[in-house]
Amino acid sequence: MLFLALAAALTLQPPADAIVTPDGVSMQVLVPGTGTAHPESSDYVRMHYTIYSVEGKKLDAVVEPHIGTVAVSKLSDAWREAMMQMVEGEQRRIWIPDEMILDTDLVAIVHPPAIPADVAAPPADAITTRSGLAYKVLVPGVGDKHPSRRSKVRVHYSGWTTDGKMFDSSVVRDQPSEFPIDAVIPGWTEGLQLMTVGEKTRSHATQK
């Protein structure tokens, strides 16, 4: 699906049959989506979008081949309200009075990884290294080869603060990260060197 090929040319005023919210925001479905699931405030969404001024000047855009991934909770009030009514594959236009016009294509709804039950502190069966790093193997890897401090690795990861707030996740972006092991915080540098390919671990470390 090419988001650039919208079902209707840009119009600065909403049509008479547009959906109007109590706040005066107007919306129109340009292309119906599929399925019945709607994003929730705790979800992330992958989308294409174009933002116009009320005069029709393009202000910003993320279109194919690029894609934007954002937490629904981080969207503006009007955008979030519209997004939570959409389904995957839907294209919708939003007129926000005196502010902007938004064209949005909801590509995918992404449910974030569940907050670990032991996010606040390491479990009793965690292994603790001399440095104080605590870790637990969740899924064993293959082989016995470990990366060195000078290795470059390609990983999927999610990170939470001890109060359960996720601050980053390659899983949500659906894009593994690649970096030199010694370019991250010391606890992660140490933990990665203990792993093998295919292994999944959970570690508790402080950033120093």
pLDDT at 161: 94
**65 Cβ contact list (under 8 Å, min separation 6):** none
Domain carrying residue 56: 19-110
Q: Quick one: pLDDT band at residue 58, thresholds 50, 70, 90? A: very high
> Any idea what the CATH number is for the domain that residue 153 is in?
3.10.50.40
Domains: count for the chain: 2
pLDDT in tens, 136-184: 999 999 989 999 999 999 999 999 999 999 999 999 988 899 999 999 9
120 within a domain of the structure (yes/no): no
> Which pTM value belongs to this model?
0.81
Q: Which of 110, 137, 152 corresponds to the end of one domain?
A: 110
Mean pLDDT, the chain, whole residue set: 92
